[in-house]
Amino acid sequence: MSRRPPRGEYIETDTGNKVARKATLVGTQNIMLGGKTVIQPEVMIRGDLIRSIQSSSSSASGAAPNNTAVSIGRYCFLSRGCCLRPPGRLYKGAFTYMPLRMGDHVFVGPGSVVQAASIGSHVHIGARVAVGEFAIIKDYVRVLDGTVIPPNMVIPSFSIVAGQPARLIGEVPEGGHEAFELRDLYKTVGNNPQPAPS
Amino acid sequence: MAAFVPYTYFQCPCSDSSTLAQSSGSNSPSSAHPDPDDGGIDDDSDRAFDPRAPRSNYSLYPLEYLLYCEDCHQIRCPRCVAEEIVTYYCPNCLFEVPSSNLKSEGNRCTRSCFQCPICIGPLAVTSIETKPDPNLLAAPDSASHSGPYALTCSYCNWTSTEVGIKFEKPNSIHAQLAKLRNGGTSRLTAKERKERRKDPAYTSQRAAAGSERESSDWQEDLDLETQFANLKLFYQSQLADPNSADHGLSSLGDLGFSSPSSLSRIMSIYTGGSLHDKKAKSRVGAMREALESDEGLQLADLDESAAISRLRQEGYDGTASTEQLLEQPPNLGEEHLHGRARFTAELRPIPYLLRTKRSKRCPVCRHIISKPEAKMQTTRFRIRLVAGSYIPSIAIRPLSLSGAGGSFSSSSTTTVPGAPLEPLKPAHFLLTFKNPIFETVKVTLGTPARTPGRFASKVTVLCPVFEIGANTDVWDEALKDSSGSDRDGRRRRGKGDEGGGGGSGGGGLTNQIEVGKIWERGRNWVSIVVEVMPASLHLREDEGDLPLREEEDVLEIPMFVRVEWEADVGGDEVGSAAHGRDSKEAREKRELAYWCVLGLGKIRRS
Amino acid sequence: MTSYCRPAILSPKVQQGESKQSFPHCIKQPCSFPKIPQGRLLKSQRKITMSSKRHSIVPPVSQSGPKPPVQFSSSITISDSALLTGTNLIAISSESVIHPRAKLDSLAGRINIGRRCVVHERSVVGAVGTSGRITEAAVTLGDYVTVEVGASIEAGDTVIGDGTTVGVGAKVGAGAVIGKHCTLTPHTEIAAGEVVPDFTVVYSNGLRRPDRRGIAELKNKGQIRQIDVLRRMIPSNPAKFD
């Protein structure tokens, strides 16, 4: 990996994150990556939309306890053209954004817009999905293509949801847990992509 | 049209009554010691399995949906396993509901979790009386957290104020809603009803109403729950009344619907046996029916002119769809069954149905084959015997012809995935079998030469018998590597090398399609080639051919798979072979056989 | 503040040069950023921030087409990575917010954005549709309009009424007239020339129902608060578009 060409499509960090040069990350200091996460080209992450209620109280010191706007776990895969942005709402009469938290092995399909409050681990979000503000998606959830998840919706573990608005259409079977693993997918992108194992 | 994705479905033996009977009758020993002359398997292979038969719909599953019973050594599917509920929880607030509450409160969340009756999105409790003075922008939150609340859908913007329902408190909405009728009037309790009857104003009103219609017809509007309570009370008093036996019709005995004993039997089903009375059983007689609303009588209101005029006014868009009506929970606050909501403007919020975590038992031996942790928050399983860790998975890839004379490039990825198959032109597919168990398995494949159905495609499995290496760890593979590659000579490692090599690497990487030869082999996987000659979908309309049915253009091959391996005699677990390697003498043959269906692609329509 | 047409194409190379050094190599923490608590969000995980001097990775976008004349109120907030293109005037009224990577295209006519509108990232206002016709006013957004992420509003006398929200990924066809205080839920598609009356919610692939919440005022107030916050968060650079 050290002999990588001087300017590949991706920037590969020490912790194994692969970030496309053509991804748009706004407010990088507020974006936490757990490592081994792939960010494909044309992905947009709005790290600049931080909690404002907290920072307004302690902005003078400049050391707010936590300014993280978007935190992403390990082995996440953000496909081309998806957008992560923290959800915002009125809280006690003032508007504030709240952090978006994402666990490990989360796949976000191309063109999806995610404004969830939290997404668990082993979650598969299909293509062109709109995840509404403050939605909570638990572990082992599959969101099919084109789904619109309304704001504030809670999706419990092992759900398969689809539709506009999203509704439960099935359960993830016992044998389907391994399909959420993204380790192999991680290897297939980057500056030295490996072929997918047969 | 969406691109076709090849698929593999496995058949669960439960659909075949003979198989199930056989395995249940002889239990595990027979399947553990398979006799080659045993008729059981041969019976199966005699009759080719038709994936398009209507019954097959119910027995074919993707591998991940299937479980495996280690005691019966058989595949189990969601349709045949016996489920037991481990935990009930609300899918919205994620609170666990004790099963004792379920009996009293029903199977819906009794907190504040509701779904929108219009679009089934989640409803949020919002405060509605927020009209702070526009001049007081500085202190806006002082007023916002008081006063009536409503349920609002954040998706379609429905609000419970549309049916006139407001709440005083932001919590325990379910209890508040139960007391509210549409329009915001609260339901009368039995006590309030009685008190109302004493009220002179009410009696005069009643008399006025009664004089308008036939006086005997007039009755009080009861909601469902009150009606049931009244009826129950009435019948109970009838049962208790010893005089009821004196009335005639005793010759009908216990068979009549009006006999107390049959009634008490029915009632005991619904009320948990409280009515079941030994004495009542011995008594024979008839009872009179309820005559008044106090006794639970409700006359059907057949006057629908109001509904009709409303329909004229609001039109089709104002009526509730069947789906919306189905989602509606039975509303005990409704007047009676005839008043069932017909218009969207009458729909009430839907309390979330509880969800469950369930454990699964083998239908034959009753052993648990899947058991999740009871806690709602955890996603772990105590027991999870999935078929994917016992039987080889089958992956399908189209193989493209790159040169003449049966020479193929292994860069099969160049074919457009999901492209339709040309009729009457041989196509090749690569089937990759991956062995999940820690033993070397011998696989025997059988397919009918022609696929069943109207359009018979020719199928040839070029290598129907092969062995797949054990699912040992990678270290073992490294040790075996040299011998393995010599024997097969067709080992190909990662495609990374290939990409760099370009044309020069072509010679070494080109595989020959040869009958009886494995295409490629890895540590615990083997690829073989299947040749198909897709049938022509040409229909002769003049000869009375029916038009193409749905999915009839999909080329599906039924394939019988027989897996044989050696396992430890004692070891229950097929998977844990770590300790079994040193005791090779104490091993026994095992075998598993099942049908599966390979969906290879769609045939181009002519 | 008014400026006039000065067609100049931004050189992508200049921007590229900027972004080359802008990309920080993610540094193994914890020392350089003590203010970010390690492992607070997810225990047992080493947290890495993507950070150094620059606070954003914004790859250049090819500014294709001419630079449009603009007419900005002095109180607007417009990110300098917003995309303005076209030949006709783009007018943005007071206190409106244009997020990074929002695209306003005035090729097919004038773009008017009312007061206190929020145009989110990746949305396209004034997308040249299939008709391709050029009109006097391509797109007119009323006051308090929200255009959410990835929504697209085609050009051609398209009007979005006051207080209307165009949801994530929604599409409004050319010449459509959306009334006041409407809600187009995510992925809604409004055909060209369609008229949506005031207080309509379009949901579930085109179903419509009236919005009877009666909270238009409240919503506007929320919008004001949101704009207050966004103004602090989005570095505004209206001068770039002059």
Task: Write the CATH number of the domain with boundaries C65-241.
Answer: 2.160.10.10
Closest residue, chain C, to A101 (C-alpha):
C41
Size of interface B-C (CB pairs under 8 A): 28
- In A, which residues are within 8 Å of C165 by CB distance? none
* Domain residue extents for chain C: 22-57, 65-241
pLDDT for B550 equals 77
B510-552: per-residue pLDDT in tens?
Answer: 456 677 788 888 888 999 999 998 888 877 767 777 777 777 8
Q: Give the integer Cα–Cα distance in Å for B89 and A153.
A: 16
**Segment B144-155 mean pLDDT:** 81
Which residue segment(s) compose the domain that A135 sits in?
10-187
In a domain, B425, yes or no: yes
A124-133: per-residue pLDDT in tens?
Answer: 999 999 999 9
- Reported confidence tier of residue B401, pLDDT bands at 50, 70, 90: low
- Reported confidence tier of residue B163, pLDDT bands at 50, 70, 90: confident
B77-113: per-residue pLDDT in tens?
Answer: 998 999 999 999 999 999 999 988 888 888 899 989 9
Closest residue, chain B, to A165 (C-alpha):
B121
pLDDT for B199 equals 64
In a domain, A176, yes or no: yes
CA–CA distances in Å: residue A95 to residues A54, B155, C226: 11, 20, 5
Which residue segment(s) compose the domain that B411 sits in?
7-66+387-602
Chain CA centroid to CA A14, Å: 20
Query: The dihedral of CA B233, B239, B240, B244: what is its sign?
Result: positive
**Chains linked to B by 3 or more Cβ pairs within 8 Å:** A, C
Average the pLDDT over each of B193-197, C40-44, C209-213 and give the range with the smallest value: C40-44
- Of A51, A128, A130, the closest CA to residue A91 belongs to A51
Rounded to the nearest integer, the mean pLDDT of chain A is 88
B21-33: per-residue pLDDT in tens?
Answer: 444 444 434 344 4
pLDDT for A80 equals 94
**Chains linked to C by 3 or more Cβ pairs within 8 Å:** A, B
Is the model's pLDDT at C8 over the cut of 80? no
Cβ count near B267 (within 10 Å) = 20
Q: How many folded domains does chain B comprise?
A: 1
In a domain, A119, yes or no: yes
Burial C29-53 (b: 16+ CB within 10 A, else e): beeebeebeeeebbeebebbbbbbe
β C171-172/C152-154 pair status: parallel
Q: How many folded domains does chain A comprise?
A: 1
Helix (H) or strand (E) holding B351: strand B350-351
Higher pLDDT, B62 or B17: B62
B346-396: per-residue pLDDT in tens?
Answer: 888 999 999 999 999 998 899 999 999 999 889 999 999 999 999 999 999
DSSP code of C109? S
Q: Any CB–CB contact under 8 A between B169 and chain A?
A: no
**Segment B166-176 mean pLDDT:** 87
Is the model's pLDDT at B485 over the cut of 80? no
Alpha helices in B82-172, H assignment, sequence order: 99-105, 141-144
A39 has which bridge partners? A19, A78
Closest residue, chain C, to B153 (C-alpha):
C213
pLDDT for B243 equals 57
Size of interface A-B (CB pairs under 8 A): 81
Contact (CB<8Å) C183/B118: no
Higher pLDDT, B303 or B581: B303
pLDDT for B87 equals 94
Higher pLDDT, B393 or B34: B393
B264-310: per-residue pLDDT in tens?
Answer: 777 777 666 554 455 444 444 566 777 777 777 777 777 778 888 88
pLDDT for A3 equals 52
A126-185: per-residue pLDDT in tens?
Answer: 999 999 999 999 999 999 999 999 999 999 999 999 999 999 999 999 999 999 999 999
* Domain CATH number, residue A15: 2.160.10.10
Average the pLDDT over each of B199-203, C7-11, C46-50 and give the range with the smallest value: C7-11
Is the model's pLDDT at C64 over the cut of 80? no
**Segment B301-324 mean pLDDT:** 83
In a domain, A192, yes or no: no
A109, A145 contact by CB (below 8 A): yes
- Reported confidence tier of residue B188, pLDDT bands at 50, 70, 90: low
Burial class (CB within 10 angstroms; exposed 0-12, middle 13-18, buried 19+) of B467: middle
User: Which residues numbered 155-194 in B keep a CB inside 8 Å of some CB on C?
Assistant: 155-159, 161-162
B463, B516 contact by CB (below 8 A): yes
Q: Give the integer Cα–Cα distance in Å for A134 and A125.
A: 16
- Of B529, B459, B442, B531, the closest CA to residue B490 belongs to B529
Distance from CA of B250 to the nearest CA of A (A): 54
Q: Any CB–CB contact under 8 A between B119 and chain C?
A: yes
Contact (CB<8Å) B156/C212: no
Is the model's pLDDT at B500 over the cut of 60? no
What is the predicted ipTM? 0.88
**Segment B422-451 mean pLDDT:** 89
pLDDT for A31 equals 94
**DSSP string covering B202-259, please?**
HHHHHHHHHHHS-TTT------HHHHHHHHHHHHHHHHH-GGGGGSS-GGGGGGSTTS
The proportion of chain B whose per-residue pLDDT surpasses 90, expressed as a percent, equals 21
C59, C79 contact by CB (below 8 A): no
